[in-house]
Amino acid sequence: MYTEIARKYLRLDKFPSIWCPGCGHGIILASILRTIHKLELDRNKVVMVSGIGCSGRTPGYVDFNTLHTTHGRALSFATGIKLANPELTVIVVMGDGDAAAIGGNHFIHACRRNIDLTAIIYNNNIYGMTGGQVSPTTPFGAYATTAPYGQFETPFDIARLALGAGATYVARGTSYHVPMLDNLIKKGIQHKGLSVIDVLTTCPINFGRRNKLSSDGAKNLKYIESISVPRSKFEKMNDDERKGKYPIGIFREDDSMPELTAVYRKKLEEIRREG
Amino acid sequence: MAKKLLSGNEAIGKGALEAGLQFYGGYPITPSSDIAEYIARELPKYGGIFIQMEDEIGSAGSIIGASLAGKKSMTATSGPGISLMQEHIGFAAMVEAPTVFVDIMRGGPSTGLPTFPSQGDLLQAKWGTHGDHEIIVLYPNSVTECFYQTVRAFNLAEKYRTPVIILSDEIIGHMREMVDLPEKVEVINRRMPEVKPDKFKPYDTNFGDVPPMPPYGSGYRYHTTGLVHDETGFPTHNPKKSQALISRLVNKIRKNRDDIVEVDFEYMDDAEIGIFALGPVARSALEAVEELRNNGVKAGLIRPKVVFPFCDKELMESSKNLKKLYVFEMNMGQIVNEVERVIGREKIEWHGKSNGEIITPDEIEEYIMGRK
């Protein structure tokens, strides 16, 4: 019943996972694993780092060097790991609250530093693990346990935040558009610099049920499909048409900027040569 | 030996380099910033990495990450910065990542007195993070000691797989003294596993209370989490396994307290009156002891160089014949609680203040003469 990739990379004795039926997290994880397999990365040199929340449990399920850190701080740990050993491929998985609320500062600074990490945000617009509280990406007007009258605040657009902060690879995919997600993650891992992949995904139990999508996983996925628009199409839409829609695709892929660990390595050689 | 004029903070930096520091992540804050400045300049010459992070929380995260990737790592901070780092000090204790945290104490609470000394973090150093754990806390009182205690901090961190806190303060941090720098210091490195990767369990107690620790990327793939975990590294909430983990984290320090604790005794052999003091207050106290002896008072000094684990045994023995034990500290009563816990209240007189001023030798002498 397991695919070759599942048998190769999953810690099967840790299943079933804590993720609810219909949760999109498993789809994103599968995409990450297919990509690592396709890229033929040495699993001994892959480190997966997470923060806290439903997304935070991802590393526990995969057979790499895995680190489940504190809420919001995964990128700071990953920065230390990558600088300490640039040979490692470091993949950081975070939730929307994890990356853009409590971890917002680490997020923008990792983007600015252009350190070679791949940050994948499982963006389901809600705090799932703690029971459905409002998150920094909860859409205006959507309901959450701590927004019982609807969200009054304007949400973050994580991809635009990453672009503004200087990330050199920025993309948005969804857990509905799976082949596209595979490709976005592949390019993100291959990119030498800070890659951000904002992945729109479902939380049927804590977002769907409160927002007229029911707890049905397929219905929630269809909702994700309905709000996603290819970037090229989105750019041709007027402001009215854009309301409630999210462009998906690659927003930036810039190889011209220096990557931090490479710059550092070169500098260290110079400093040592000069004594 | 090479003689060098250094500040306490520079000596901490120098000690770290000699102990094998390879990664420093920090954030500027008075009065610790000169440690970061020194290391930013010197560490690259040793092939190590310095990074100024976006805040103290990130700094602490980065050094734990670097430690897991196999590098000796440290950070330094003060005041509000050490408060911000507490969550990650707990994380380092939980995952047993060897790390060194330096706290150059300044007046508090809050922003407090940024450029003035205090000893307001003595208990925070042990109890600042949530949950049960033991931790090692050192407190040098001279520039020379800053150097050697920092080397020791790294060695203890590696030996016991634990965060080690070096407490210092604005006085010790910024005073300058001549230091005899040794050509070589003893350096301890974490143990590597003896078993092959397929037999490896990250918290296997078959090798003692301090498990071996391979770096990420070495072929030993394992899971690290701040959740309570069993010997395999994966989360558990089994009460027996939970207790086993916490007991081990506590016992690996408690059981080895004789190896860790260091106390300096001055004039204690025939002392009738003792002074208990730490860091710069102990310098004042030593001067006061000598002055008191000139006046016929048999005074002596007890100065722990290691604040935690606390020197219960040493204090109990050394205070047996004392008529009184005076505790002086630059706060409103912290370490005195530990002293009372060990020897009871009867003999103790406490004097402290929290106004940004050091407790002077005269102040100590007058206080004792006025109460004797």
Angle at A97 between CA B99 and CA B54, to 5 degrees: 40
Answer yes or no: do B73 and B177 share one domain: yes
Q: Are residues B246 and B290 in the same domain?
A: no
Instruction: Pick the last residue of a domain from B181, B210, B235.
Output: B181
Give chain A's mean pLDDT: 97
ipTM: 0.97
Asked if the C-beta of B198 comes within 8 angstroms of chain A's C-beta atoms, the answer is no
Whole-structure pTM value: 0.98
CB neighbours of A205 closer than 8 A, spacing ≥ 6? A20, A22, A23, A128, A132, A215
User: At a CB cut-off of 8 Å and minimum separation 6, what does B121 contact?
Assistant: B82, B103, B105, B108, B128, B167
Domain A4-274 falls under CATH 3.40.50.970: yes
Rounded distance, CA A101 to CA A99, Å? 6
Render pLDDT for B281-330 as a digit per residue (tens, 0 to 9): 999 999 999 999 999 999 999 999 999 999 999 999 999 999 999 999 99
User: Is residue B188 in some structural domain?
Assistant: no
Averaged pLDDT, B36-62: 98
Residue B292, domain CATH: 3.40.50.920
How many Å apart are CA A170 and CA A162, to the nearest integer?
7
- Tell me which amino acid residue A38 is: K
Contact A123, A137 (CB under 8 A): yes
Using CA atoms, how far apart are residues B4 and A153, in angstroms rounded to an integer?
A: 58
pLDDT category at A272 given cuts 50, 70, 90 is confident
Closest partner residue to A73 (CB to CB) among B49, B58, B227 is B58
Q: Are residues B66 and B14 in the same domain?
A: yes
Q: How many helices (H) and strands (E) does chain B have?
A: 13, 16
Amino acid in position A148? P
Q: Which residues contact B321 (CB under 8 A, 6 or more apart)?
A: B271, B272
Task: With cut-offs at 50, 70 and 90, classify the pLDDT of residue A1.
Answer: low
**Chain B contact present for A47, CB below 8 A:** yes
Total of domains in chain B: 3
What the block records as the tokens of B212 is 């071996």
Phi/psi at A245 (nearest 5 deg)? -105, 155
B296 and B172 co-located in one domain: no
Q: With a cut of 90, say whether residue A180 has pLDDT above it.
A: yes
Backbone angles phi, psi at A182, to 5 degrees: -55, -45
Spatial neighbors of B110 by CB under 8 A, at least 6 apart, are B80
Q: List the one residue out of A253, A254, A230, A250 whose CA is nearest residue A242.
A: A230
| Probe site for chain B from A57, A79, A91 (most B CB atoms < 10 A) | A79
What is the SS3 assignment for B25?
A: strand
| A 241-270 near B (Cβ less than 8 A) | 264, 267-268
Q: What length is written for chain A?
A: 275
Range of the domain at B244: 197-257
Q: Could you tell me if B59 and B101 lie in one domain? A: yes
**Judgement on whether residues B270 and B250 belong to the same structural domain of the protein:** no
What is chain A's Cα-based Rg? 18
pLDDT at B207 over 70: yes
Q: Chain A within 8 Å of B53 (Cβ-Cβ)?
A: yes
Answer whether residue B263 shows pLDDT above 70. yes
pLDDT digits (tens, 9 = 90+) for A211-263: 999 999 999 999 999 999 999 999 999 999 999 999 999 999 999 999 999 99
Contact of A67 with chain B, judged by CB distance below 8 Å, is answered with: yes
Mean pLDDT score, A61-88: 98
